[in-house]
Amino acid sequence: MPKIPSAVVAAGGLVGGYGVARWSKRREWGGGVLAVAGGAAAWQWRQRAGGKAARALAAGYVVAFGASHPLAKKVGAWPAVLGVAGAVALASWVVADRRG
């Protein structure tokens, strides 16, 4: 079974969480997607790059989620979510995925 890069899991959690919340009109469902994907990505980060890197990337994931809200007021919701998801994916790839 092919491994899904943690960059895809993390970015997918941000984009998917927002999409689910928006289309279902249930923020808690979107938060669930965000949390499950974040947990899966954190597990991958720890396996691939160690605990310190996993903690840093997890903090970045949470900060990116928070930063998307004020950014959305300036550029729109989808551009903000896609932008922070791209940043998280890049960080994840640089720190954890490019090694494997």
Q: Render pLDDT for 26-42 as a digit per residue (tens, 0 to 9).
A: 999 999 999 999 999 99
Task: Supply the pTM of this predicted model.
Answer: 0.93
pLDDT band at 3 (very low <50, low <70, confident <90, very high): confident
What is the CA 68 to chain-centroid distance, rounded?
11
| Phi and psi angles of residue 12, each rounded to the nearest 5 degrees, phi first | -65, -35
Residue 100: is its pLDDT beyond 90?
Answer: no
What is the CA 96 to chain-centroid distance, rounded?
14
Residue 44 neighbours by CB distance under 10 Å? 24
Using CA atoms, how far apart are residues 70 and 10, in angstroms rounded to an integer?
20
pLDDT band at 12 (very low <50, low <70, confident <90, very high): very high
Residue 75 neighbours by CB distance under 10 Å? 12
Q: What percent of the chain has pLDDT over 70?
A: 97
